[in-house]
Every structure is written in structure tokens, then in C-alpha cells.
């Protein structure tokens, strides 16, 4: 199936209408998050790379036209103007891994209006989902306070593609590995994993299960110790590790119960057995809130495996995001709806020291000491540079995180920085609003104001 069909029906009907009306002038759409979810002090921009791949490849072919016509219950020839429609425009975006704030454009698309309209649904789908998951994963890294975090989310994500994305996004913000073999191979990540409770049960004896596993995988190995009694399981694991001469790099995994108390008991058993180098991994319903609590309680956990709650961003599974028209054919566009008003014109975000961000018009000069966030990543429908390596995105995240105010890094009750609006953009918005409202009252056309 062509990727042109990955869209909502109303994108098709609007694009078709624009073409019939001869409306081919460039339009600029801005994609942004109106407000942060609860307990979020920041967002991590993600999803740009698959968006650019999609835009570079999208093209409406004969089969797409037939599918659109069938969806609308119309003869295919009536939808013929859509045939051959691709993406020939420009994308300016915040690179993956950068930290962004509410109201700031994550990307802006400028293209003939039918092209920019047809791709809206895919762009929102990818950027919103991946930014939500990356932001959740980033908070786990903060909560772990330097201890490694790995991704165990594949079995519970909303589809295999989402599992692939969760593994990649975890790596983008600093995860140490993933259980997802395909993603590990695709992105060059360490593959991690232990065993299931069923493996222990089928042997009937924990010691024999551990020995068999070690024979198949000589090391380092991590034994799952809570199938029956956790304390007894740790003692059995310690005995088998000593018996087989396995020490450094090996571990035990706790997957249920009071993980803090169990980790302390496990550490005492392992140390008493002369195995101080054997690590303790914790898993089972963990997210940044649980990880922070365990770290605060000084639980001797060496590695956190996070899965379901992070892979689906359970407490904030969506973002209040929008893809709004801000300019068409050189004219500023502005939505006036109560609580959902937008600001007109193509934008830039200038980042000053300490996340003193300013949302401005695109052509405003860079303020002293600030740097622009949005970069031109696609022109004439083609990437302006090769796909950004994951390591580069991770470095960008780490650099931004180091500069983020401490209050925004808090897991519970963070205080997010707020982006300011430039004086010029504020004045421009007020003037466009004034002319729009005057036009609505008098029945005149929308303004032709230039900025």
C-alpha cells in the first residue's frame, strides 16, 4: 500500500478541493504542543526522522486515487487531480533530541497547500507519539540518577512499530539497551534480557533451571529469582553462580513485590556469599515515579528495566498538539477560537541561557546570546542532510538536559520554563486579530497584512 493513504479522509477532500479551485500557492503550517501534560517540565522532540522519510517518498498513484474514490463513494476519474501529488516543499524543525517547551513549533511545513494538507495526519501521528514516549523515557533517566535503564516494553506497546520506536527513543535519551532484538539490530543497541517465570517452572527446580540456562548461555547471566520465594531464589542463584564460577557481570532480577526491601535482602545474601559484583536488576511495573522512589530509598538496585508504563507513556499517552495554518500565499492566517487561538506567521524559537526561550517571527534577528532552534531539514521535497545519527540526537538531549533548570527536571510537580513571545510577534498578532475581527464584522475579506 502506498504511504499516501496514511491520512485522514478530510485531508483528501480538502486537498482535492484546493486543486479544483486552482489554489496552489504555498502555505505554512506550524506543529506545536499547546500545553504540557501533568507532571511534565519539558518535552523531548522526536519523530522527525520518520516524518522526513515519509515526505520524501509520499506520492499519490493510481491505486491511491481509486482508494480515495472508493472511500468517498465517487468515480475515480473525479479524483484524478490528486494523481501525482507528492511533497515538494520545505520543512523547518527542531532536531530530534532537543528539549522543547509548550507553544514552541516542533516543525513548520511550507509547501503548496494541497501537499501540506495531505500529510498533516501522518506528521501529527509520528511527532506526537514519539515526543510523548521520548519525554517519558527521559524522565526515567533523570529518576535513575546515573544507574542504567533498559527498555522491556515490546510486549505491551501498541503494535510492533510502536515497540521499535520505544526502543529507539529510549536509546535517544540514554537507555543502556533494549529487549527488542529487531530494534537492537536495526539501531546498533545492546540487546538485554533474562528469562521468564515459565522457564523456571518447566524445570521444576530453580537450581537446575539456572544451571541449564548457564550451560546454554555461559555468561554473563542474570537469573530471575522471584518465581516462588524471592529470598530463597536469591540464595539458590548465589549457590549456582559460585558453583559455576560465574561472578562479574552476572546478576539476579527482581520482578515483583516490594522491590526496595527485596533488593536490600538480596544484596545481603549476595554479599554474604562473596558475590559483591553480582548486580541486581529490578523490573515489573516501573516508570519514573517508581524508579525515583527506589533511588530515594537507597535501594541497592543496579539496573532498572522499564516496560509497559514507559512504552505507552501511560500517565500521558497523548499530547495536546496542533498543526495549524499560519500563512497562505503571503497572507497571515490566524485562528480566533476561544482557548485555541493561534498566532500568525512562520516562526522561529530563540533559546537564551537557562531556557529563556522566545517564540518569534521567522525573519526576526537572533537576540544577543541566543540561538535559533528550528533548522531547515528539507527543501524542494528532499532532505538537506543525511538522517541524523542516534548518537548525535542523544548528545543534543544530554546537552539540553544539563542546561535545563532543576525545577523542570523534577519528577513530581515540576515547574516548566515558559517561552516568551517576542514584541514583534505580539504586535503582529494583535494587528492581524484586529483586521480579522473588523473584516468579520463588515463582511470584508481576511487581511492581506504582511509582516
pLDDT per position as a tens digit, 104-121:
999 999 999 999 999 999
Lowest mean pLDDT among 40-54, 89-103, 326-340: 326-340
What does the block give as the cell for 321?
A: 498538539
CA neighbor of 373 nearest in space, from 27, 89, 99: 99
Phi, psi angle pair for 120, to nearest 5°: -55, -50
Q: Across all residues in the chain, what is the average pLDDT? A: 95
Tell me if 373 sits within 8 A of 101, measured CB to CB: no
- Confidence tier at 134 by pLDDT (50, 70, 90): very high
Question: Is 145-311 in CATH node 3.20.20.70?
Answer: yes
Phi, psi angle pair for 349, to nearest 5°: -115, 125
- How far is the C-alpha of 309 from the C-alpha of 143, rounded, in Å? 14
Decide the pairing of beta strands 320-328 and 331-332. antiparallel
- Confidence tier at 445 by pLDDT (50, 70, 90): low
User: Which pTM value belongs to this model?
Assistant: 0.94
pLDDT at site 323: 97
The CATH architecture annotation of domain 3-133+316-442 reads Alpha-Beta Barrel (3.20)
The three state secondary structure string of 312-368 is CCCCCCCCEEEEEEEEECCEECCCCCCCCCCCCCCEEEEEECCCEEEEEECCCCCCC
pLDDT at site 442: 76
204 pLDDT exceeds 90? no
Mean pLDDT to the nearest integer, 32-39 = 96
Lowest mean pLDDT among 4-18, 187-201, 324-338, 431-445: 431-445
pLDDT at site 446: 54
Coil, strand or helix: which one is 206? helix
Tell me if 51 sits within 8 A of 109, measured CB to CB: no
- How far is the C-alpha of 115 from the C-alpha of 82, rounded, in Å? 10
Tell me if 400 sits within 8 A of 83, measured CB to CB: no
448 pLDDT exceeds 60? no
Mean pLDDT to the nearest integer, 293-317 = 97
- Confidence tier at 1 by pLDDT (50, 70, 90): low
What does the block give as the cell for 283?
A: 523490573
306 pLDDT exceeds 70? yes
Mean pLDDT to the nearest integer, 339-359 = 94
pLDDT at site 248: 84
Mean pLDDT to the nearest integer, 309-313 = 97
Query: Mind listing the pLDDT tens digit for each residue in 223-236?
Result: 999 999 999 999 99
pLDDT more than 90, % of the chain: 92
Burial 330-365 (b: 16+ CB within 10 A, else e): ebbbbeeeeeeebbbbbbbbbbeeebbbbbbbbebe
339 pLDDT exceeds 80? no
Coil, strand or helix: which one is 415? coil
Decide the pairing of beta strands 43-44 and 149-151. unpaired
pLDDT at site 439: 79
Q: Where are the domains of the chain?
A: 3-133+316-442, 145-311
pLDDT at site 219: 76
- Confidence tier at 438 by pLDDT (50, 70, 90): confident
178 pLDDT exceeds 80? yes
- CATH fold match for the domains 3-133+316-442 and 145-311: no
426 pLDDT exceeds 60? yes
pLDDT at site 424: 97
Query: Mind listing the pLDDT tens digit for each residue in 382-413?
Result: 999 999 999 999 999 999 999 999 999 999 99
Query: Mind listing the pLDDT tens digit for each residue in 79-101?
Result: 999 999 999 999 999 999 999 99
Q: What sign for the dihedral angle of Cα 310, 314, 318, 320?
A: negative
Cis-peptide into 231, omega within 30 deg = no
Amino acid at each position: 500500500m502506498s504511504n499516501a493513504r496514511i491520512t485522514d479522509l478530510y485531508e483528501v477532500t480538502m486537498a482535492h478541493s484546493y486543486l479544483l479551485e486552482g489554489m496552489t500557492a504555498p502555505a505554512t503550517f506550524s506543529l506545536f504542543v499547546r500545553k504540557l501534560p501533568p507532571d511534565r517540565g519539558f518535552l523531548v522532540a522526536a519523530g522527525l526522522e520518520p516524518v522526513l522519510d515519509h515526505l520524501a517518498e509520499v506520492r499519490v498513484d493510481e491505486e491511491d486515487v481509486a482508494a480515495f474514490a472508493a472511500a468517498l463513494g465517487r468515480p475515480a476519474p473525479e479524483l484524478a487531480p490528486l494523481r501525482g501529488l507528492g511533497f515538494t516543499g520545505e520543512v523547518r524543525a527542531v532536531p530530534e533530541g532537543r528539549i522543547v517547551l509548550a507553544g514552541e513549533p516542533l516543525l513548520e511545513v511550507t509547501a503548496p497547500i494541497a501537499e501540506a494538507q495531505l500529510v498533516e495526519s501522518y506528521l501529527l501521528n509520528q511527532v506526537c507519539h514519539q515526543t510523548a514516549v521520548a519525554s517519558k523515557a527521559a524522565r526515567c533517566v533523570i529518576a535513575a540518577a546515573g544507574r542504567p535503564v533498559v527498555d522491556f516494553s515490546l510486549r505491551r506497546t501498541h503494535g510492533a512499530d510502536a515497540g521499535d520506536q520505544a526502543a529507539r527513543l529510549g536509546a535517544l535519551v540514554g537507555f543502556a539497551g533494549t529487549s527488542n532484538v529487531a530494534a537492537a539490530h536495526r539501531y546498533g543497541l545492546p540487546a538485554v534480557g533474562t528469562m521468564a517465570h515459565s522457564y523456571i517452572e518447566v524445570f521444576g527446580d530453580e537450581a537446575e533451571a539456572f544451571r541449564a540456562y548457564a550451560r546454554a548461555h555461559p555468561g554473563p547471566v542474570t537469573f530471575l529469582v522471584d518465581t516462588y520465594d524471592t529470598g530463597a531464589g536469591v540464595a539458590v542463584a548465589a549457590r549456582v553462580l559460585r558453583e559455576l564460577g560465574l561472578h562479574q557481570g552476572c546478576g539476579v532480577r527482581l520482578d515483583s513485590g516490594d522491590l526496595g526491601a527485596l533488593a536490600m535482602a538480596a544484596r545481603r545474601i549476595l554479599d554474604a556469599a562473596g558475590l559483591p559484583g553480582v548486580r541486581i536488576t529490578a523490573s515489573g511495573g516501573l516508570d519514573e515515579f517508581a524508579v525515583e522512589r527506589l533511588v530515594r530509598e537507597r535501594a541497592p538496585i543496579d539496573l532498572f528495566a522499564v516496560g509497559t508504563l514507559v512504552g505507552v507513556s501511560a500517565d500521558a499517552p497523548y499530547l495536546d498538539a496542533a498543526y495549524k495554518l499560519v500563512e497562505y500565499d503571503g497572507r497571515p492566517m490566524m485562528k480566533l477560537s476561544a482557548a485555541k487561538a493561534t498566532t500568525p506567521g512562520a516562526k522561529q524559537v530563540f533559546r537564551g541561557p537557562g531556557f529563556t526561550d522566545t517564540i518569534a517571527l521567522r525573519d526576526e534577528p537572533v537576540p544577543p546570546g541566543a540561538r535559533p532552534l528550528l533548522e531547515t531539514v528539507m527543501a524542494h521535497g528532499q532532505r538537506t542532510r543525511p538522517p541524523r545519527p542516534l548518537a548525535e540526537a542523544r548528545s543534543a538531549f544530554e546537552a539540553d538536559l544539563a542546561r535545563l533548570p532543576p525545577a523542570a527536571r523534577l519528577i513530581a510537580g515540576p515547574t516548566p520554563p515558559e517561552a516568551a513571545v517576542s514584541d514583534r510577534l505580539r504586535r503582529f498578532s494583535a494587528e492581524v486579530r484586529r483586521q480579522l475581527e473588523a473584516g468579520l464584522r463588515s463582511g470584508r475579506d481576511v487581511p492581506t497584512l504582511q509582516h
